[in-house]
Structure 1
Amino acid sequence: MEPTAGWKRGERFSHRGDVPDSPGWSDEQKETLDRMRAQLRELSTAVVDHPHWATVPRESLVEDRMQLKKQTRPAEPDDLA
């Protein structure tokens, strides 16, 4: 996010060669990141605190949450076969 000085190959660990200076992020990009992080926290809290989880037996809570997590991921090509 913040400006960073670049370096020449050999000065640091870089397999790509020279690394140019990074100008950092604009104020708009920083504000977008802050907004998206706040939204992620809000949505995460809504899922974790949802009343549904009070109905799930304690011993299967983690397994059920992991299953929900897997269901929301895009299908892998192998899963479609």
Structure 2
Amino acid sequence: MAGWARGERFSHRGDVPDSLGWSDEQKEAVDRMRAELRELATVVVDHPHWAIVPREDLVNARMQLKKQTRPVEPDAVTEAA
């Protein structure tokens, strides 16, 4: 992407240089992560659990799932300290 001069697009950082773009390695990593995200989303949406949730509670139940955090492994806490 082409850069721009300060004021031309109201940049608070001053002049913005041309973007170097993503390397092939970065593009492959993004494609891989997006594919994994699509696969995981499908697993969650199609999980048999949702068949037992009353239809009127489905959206709220999925929103609650989104708000949950992953459990922290005890080893990860020790390593972070």
Alignment TM class, shorter chain as reference: 0.7 to 0.9
What secondary structure, in the 3-state scheme, does the structure 2 residue paired with 1:37 have? helix
Q: Percent identity?
A: 83
Q: Specify which of 58, 63, 67 is matched with residue 60 of structure 2.
A: 63
Q: Which runs of 5+ in 2 are unaligned?
A: 71-81
Write out the 4+ residue segments of structure 1 that deviate beyond 2 Å after TM superposition. Answer: none
Q: Does 1:29 align with 2:26?
A: yes
The alignment yields a C-alpha RMSD, in angstroms, of 1.6
- Residue 11 (structure 2) aligns with: 14
Q: Distance in 2 between matches of 1:11 and 1:63?
A: 45
- Residue 35 (structure 2) aligns with: 38
Q: Distance in 2 between matches of 1:5 and 1:48?
A: 40
What's the offset of the Cα at 1:53?
Answer: 0.3
Q: Distance in 1 between matches of 2:50 and 2:15?
A: 51
| TM-score normalised to structure 2 length | 0.80
Aligned residue pair count:
71
Q: Distance in 2 between matches of 1:62 and 1:21?
A: 43
- Residue 76 (structure 1) aligns with: none
What secondary structure, in the 3-state scheme, does the structure 1 residue paired with 2:64 have? helix
Q: Which runs of 5+ in 1 are unaligned?
A: 74-81
What's the offset of the Cα at 1:32?
Answer: 0.5
